[in-house]
Amino acid sequence: MECIPVYRTSVDSFGTVSVYPSNPNVYKVHRALGSVTNSSKIMVIIGGGPAALMFAKTLREHYYEGRIVMISKDSHLPYDRPKLSKVPGVSWDDCKLRKEEWFTVS
């Protein structure tokens, strides 16, 4: 079991959150899930698989009102990886764990 890595972060005067990983080419933020103010709470989830999605879902179900940011090497929203690789002829839409609208701020 390895320790969870910790990265230096900063928030500028416009509310933009920057994360400085040791290898900056590893993670890309494709889209923000909400706006940020200096008083906003932000939960950052490292990973974009089913466990990360369930954590975000649990936060919403327990009325977490802050911004949720998922950081992943994958350029797609969370999907069912085993189904995509093991079910012949499965469509991409059948592999998505949530529709894209679920990830937008309401």
Which residue range is the domain that position 44 belongs to? 8-98
The answer to whether position 104 is within a domain reads no
Residue 52 belongs to some domain of the structure: yes
The answer as to whether 2 is a domain residue is no
Are 34 and 41 in contact by the 8 Å Cβ rule? The answer is no
What is the spatial distance between Cα 20 and Cα 50, in angstroms, rounded to a whole number?
25
CATH code where residue 31 lies: 3.50.50.60
Number of domain units in the chain? 1
92 in a structural domain:
yes
Q: Give 65-96 pLDDT, tens digit per residue.
A: 888 888 888 888 888 888 888 888 888 888 88
pLDDT tens by residue, 26-60:
544 444 445 555 556 888 898 888 888 888 888 88
33 is a domain residue: yes
Report whether 37 contacts 15 (CB < 8 A). Answer: yes
